[in-house]
Every structure is written in C-alpha cells, then in structure tokens.
Structure 1
Amino acid sequence: MINLLELIKKAANEAVENTKPVVVAFGKVVSSSPLKILVEQKLNLDQEQLIVTDHLKNLATGDCVVLLRQQGGQKYIVWDKVIL
C-alpha cells in the first residue's frame, strides 16, 4: 500500500512540474567545445540539450549563464551571461 501511495505522489508531482511553462536556472560553462554547462552544481547539460541564442555563440569556459528550461524539461535556452 505504501508503494502505491508513493507512486501516486510521484505522478502528481511530475504532473505539476510538467505544467510549468518555464523554469529559470543558473549555470556555469565547464566546456566550450563541445559546449557543456553545469546547472546549479548538480545537473550537467551537453550541447544536444542546449539552445544558444545568437549573441552567445562564443561562450567561454567559466562563464556564468542564466538558462530557461522549456516546458517538460528536455531543453534549456541559454538566455544570457551573468556577471557576478
């Protein structure tokens, strides 16, 4: 019975999470070629998961960026660089 309750809670949380149109996250470029970004010290994104706006095509290792997660969480838009 407990497993069923946990499954229901998990499904409900995922349903709520998937309805969020955009989530803002911060990351750091850990590799520029191929592009890899570490998001909030826990999630590594590679080039296939990233959509880079034109003015940010030349990101350098160490750059801090703000990202927008697309609905469903499959891709992230690299929105802009952040100066800390």
Structure 2
Amino acid sequence: MALLESIKKAGAAAYAAGNPLAVMVGKVIQINPLEVNVDQRFTLSEDFLIIPESLVKYETQLQTSEKLIIRTGLEAGDAVLMLRVQGGQQFVVLDKVAKP
C-alpha cells in the first residue's frame, strides 16, 4: 500500500508542477513586517511576497499643514488576491479584495 501512496503523491506533484500559477486569497496578519495568511493553512512573510506600488502607502505634504494620504496601503485584516509564481517560492499580491 505504501507504493501506491508514493505513486499518488508523485502524480499529484507532477500535476501541480504543470500548473505555472495558482490564484489564492489571503488575509494580511500584520504590516511591519508584512505577513499574509493563506486559507488558514500557512503564513507568508514579506520575503515571499511581491507587492505592487498601488498597495504601498503613499502620503505627501501639501502647502497647508495638513497631510494628504493618496493610498492607504495594506492594513492588518485586509483580504488580498494573490498569484503563486511557478515553483511556489514567491507570491504576487494583485490587489485588495472587497469581500473575501
């Protein structure tokens, strides 16, 4: 029976290797350092994430004394849409998800 299980695992791994990417939904656990939890199965640190500029906080100083926030960036509790890059070593965070 162990041989059968080994063959099943090898077949599943070969099938997964043929899929160059996978779409996943994760939840931002913390910001500094950035951590995203995926399907309550595993947590990714910022070393494994590729964050687009549109999800990075941006603020600027105006001629007045008020600060204007252009983009809020990611916050703890945000749901994010991600692509797993082939090999599963990096994940591209595409955008925030309105409803996870």
Moved over 2 A (4+): none
Question: What residue ranges of structure 1 are gaps of 5+ in the alignment?
Answer: none
Please name the residue that 2:89 is paired with: 74
Matches within 5 A, 1:4-23: 4-23=3-22
Question: What residue ranges of structure 2 are gaps of 5+ in the alignment?
Answer: 57-72
Q: CA RMSD in A?
A: 1.0
Alpha-carbon distance in 1 for matches of 2:18, 2:54: 29
Matches within 5 A, 1:14-33: 14-33=13-32
8 Å CA contact retained: 1:64, 1:83: yes
Higher strand share: 1
Q: Rg bigger for which structure?
A: 2
8 Å CA contact retained: 1:19, 1:72: no
**Counterpart amino acid of residue 45 in structure 1:** L
Alpha-carbon distance in 1 for matches of 2:24, 2:84: 7
Please name the residue that 1:53 is paired with: 52
Report percent identity of matched pairs.
Answer: 42
Alpha-carbon distance in 2 for matches of 1:74, 1:27: 16
- The structural deviation recorded for 1:5 is 1.5
Higher helix share: 1
Aligned length: 83
Alpha-carbon distance in 2 for matches of 1:74, 1:19: 15
